[in-house]
Amino acid sequence: MMELTAAQRRMADGEDGEITRRLMRLLVRLGEVFGAERMVELSSVQVSGISYKSIGDPGLEFLEDVAAQGARVRVLTTLNPAGMDLQRWRELGFDETFAAKQWRIIEALTTMGALPTVTCAPYLTGNLPSFGQHVAWAESSAVSFANSVIGARTNREGGPSALAAAVCGCAPAHGLHLDHNRRPTLAVEVETKLTSRADFGALGHHVGKLAGSGVPYFFGIDTAGVDQLKSLGAAMAASGAVALYHVAGVTPEASQHSPAGLETVRVDRRLLDDARSALSSAGAQRPDLVVFGCPHASLEEIARLARRLDGRTLKTPVWICTARTTRDTAARMGLVETIEQAGGQVVADTCMVVSPMEDLGFGTTAVDSGKAAAYLPGFCSQRVVFDDRDSLIQGALDDEG
Ligand code: F3S
């Protein structure tokens, strides 16, 4: 039996309403399955399963039903990407029926009190927990970032369990909420310099397959910024189920652990190049579309791309996926205009994987993201060109390459 606080007991007993009782009982049941002895109090929740493409009518009806029964979130709750740009969907070619249903999903969740951030990088848009705080996040790339780069604590929640956690403000204390599960299980010695996001993505994709749901501990990555780490973690979460990794000298918990005695894998340039090649499935096919922003692009990434496109003309369309608030800031800085003048698009609220790309007439997509390269063939029937950002931009420009 799990030990509950008085407030949690009231929820489980139905004193806060029937829907809260049902959701609390779901959390208790999950806790029992995983052997949790108590709940942790949460500082925030990230809910996934927002795209109509992903959840369809059953998911839409479930969310509307929960909202209609009066469920309301108790903690800061943010949302994963939707299936379309919520403002410019018509201009970008999205279908009217799809758009109407997508909006109903957003309305159901905002009725419950969730913030319509609609991004997979909530840590860039106001949902930024501090070191050691417990959260319940349900986006695998964001889970990896929260655990590894921030040092917050979350398991890989699913859409329903995250929603239940948001309404009840707590989650079962098991898995990565507990110290002993945060120890490394596999050492990875990186023997080559990582020079691009594509390198980080390919490394992540390779290591994710080896680590499964374990905790890799990287050596030899001397420096890595936020965008590189989000790329590394997203790819490991896609090819495996990695929810936490450590990088010696870089991530905040690395110094608390020793990888001594662990199985060690080595990654040299030849192996990394092989991993990069394995992510390309398009052969000699040219891309119909080049997409950046998986996970959602930061302002710095948008600024870099704008500088690269300034005064140029694209012959292949380029989309940069990001959060609405990041796009708004980029627009105020003139970056969106620069990108649009070159023929590119800064697409908010969605991404190439959770939108119905295959219905928009694209068959071959170029990316520099290991996660996108892993998911696009299966989720969107796309052939993939995987390469560095600069090479992809070069190929997409009218006047060069
Ligand atoms: Fe985000 Fe979509 Fe990639 S949700 S992590 S941009 S697959």
Using one digit for the tens of pLDDT, what is the confidence trace for 290-348? 999 999 999 999 999 999 999 999 999 999 999 999 999 999 999 999 999 999 999 99
| pLDDT for the residue numbered 358 | 79
Mutate to test the pocket of ligand 1, among 353, 357, 365, 380 (most ligand atoms within 8 A of CB): 353
DSSP letter (8 states) at residue 183: S
Distance 257 CA to ligand 1 centre (A): 30
Diameter over CA atoms, the chain = 68
Distance 337 CA to ligand 1 centre (A): 24
Taking only the tens place, the pLDDT of each residue in 223-234 is 999 999 999 999
**Terminal alpha carbon distance of the chain:** 65
Residue closest by Cα to atom 2 of ligand 1: 351
The C-alpha angle with vertex 121 and arms to 373 and 144, in degrees rounded to 5, equals 70
Residue 360 has pLDDT above 90, yes or no: no
Residue closest by Cα to atom 5 of ligand 1: 295
Q: Are 351 and 293 in contact (CB under 8 A)?
A: yes
262 Cβ partners below 8 Å, 6+ apart? 184, 185, 186, 187, 217
Average pLDDT over residues 255-271: 96
Q: Is 354 in the pocket of ligand 1 (CB under 6 A)?
A: yes
DSSP letter (8 states) at residue 279: T
**For residues 214 and 363, what is the distance between their CA atoms, to the nearest angstrom?**
34
Q: Are 93 and 83 in contact (CB under 8 A)?
A: no
153: left (phi over 0), alpha (psi -120 to 50) or beta: beta
Distance 3 CA to ligand 1 centre (A): 36
| pLDDT for the residue numbered 399 | 53
Which atom of ligand 1 approaches the CA of 296 most closely? 6
Q: Which two tokens stand for residue 354?
A: 């959770």
Residue 401 pLDDT grade (very low, low, confident, very high; cuts 50, 70, 90): very low
Residue closest by Cα to atom 6 of ligand 1: 294
Q: Which two tokens stand for residue 321?
A: 């996926």
**For residues 152 and 119, what is the distance between their CA atoms, to the nearest angstrom?**
19
Per-residue three-class SS string for 8-32: HHHHHCCCCCHHHHHHHHHHHHHHH
Q: Are 180 and 210 in contact (CB under 8 A)?
A: no
**For residues 1 and 338, what is the distance between their CA atoms, to the nearest angstrom?**
59
Lowest mean pLDDT among 17-21, 182-186, 266-270, 349-353: 349-353
Average pLDDT over residues 43-48: 98
**For the whole model, what pTM was predicted?**
0.96
Of 275, 262, 176, 185, residue with least CA distance to 232? 275
Q: Are 289 and 376 in contact (CB under 8 A)?
A: no
Of 1, 7, 10, 6, residue with least CA distance to 29? 1
**For residues 71 and 22, what is the distance between their CA atoms, to the nearest angstrom?**
10
Residue 357 pLDDT grade (very low, low, confident, very high; cuts 50, 70, 90): confident
Distance 294 CA to ligand 1 centre (A): 5
Of 170, 111, 102, residue with least CA distance to 136? 170
Residue closest by Cα to atom 1 of ligand 1: 295
Return the CA Rg of the chain.
Answer: 21
Residue closest by Cα to atom 7 of ligand 1: 353
Burial label for 181, CB within 10 Å (0-12, 13-18, 19+), is middle
Taking only the tens place, the pLDDT of each residue in 368-399 is 999 999 999 999 999 999 999 999 999 999 65
Q: Is 353 in the pocket of ligand 1 (CB under 6 A)?
A: yes
Q: Which amino acid is at 233?
A: G
